[in-house]
Amino acid sequence: MIAAPRRAMVRRMTPKHSIAAIAALLIASTAQASGDIQNHEVQRIYLEESCSEVIRILDSQPDFSDGVENGSQEMAVQAMVWGHLLGVETANPGIRGTHETILQRLRADCAADDSRTAMQLLTGYAAER
């Protein structure tokens, strides 16, 4: 007697699986992007770009319309930009000034004069302490 072939079990991807897949891609793209810290993209953004570029990245929604890889790379850069901002704040307690968050202070000062880099503003905050 010949057994009937079994159907392959096909599972639908649940939100839990989607999150795990995105997390794996995020970790992979972060590791790939972090090879040379001296010339790292996030360092360049903080040191060379207008502070408005940092705000734009922090406010953006990663775009997955061009594929998961591109969206996950955007997500990785955004996570690293957040990490840099929070790292500076952690290393320099009190740089929030009268603002509730460091982002609020950075956003307000950048709106007043976006010719400065985010690092110039953050360094100035640290010097005021």
- pLDDT for res 82: 94
Task: Determine contact, residues 58/78, Cβ cutoff 8 Å.
Answer: yes
- pLDDT for res 10: 44
Helices in 1-129 by DSSP H: which ranges?
Answer: 15-33, 41-48, 51-59, 68-91, 102-112, 118-128
Question: pTM, whole model, 2 decimals?
Answer: 0.70
- pLDDT for res 87: 93
For residues 35, 106, 64, 32, the Cα torsion angle rounded to the nearest 10 degrees is: 0
Centre a 10 Å sphere on the Cβ of residue 71 and count the other Cβ atoms it contains: 19
Residue 5 three-state SS: coil
Nearest-angstrom CA–CA distance, 53 and 70: 19
Please list the pLDDT of the chain residue by residue as tens digits (129 residues): 555 555 544 455 566 556 666 666 556 555 555 555 667 889 999 999 999 999 999 999 988 888 888 888 888 899 999 999 999 999 999 999 999 999 999 999 999 999 999 999 999 999 997
- pLDDT for res 126: 94
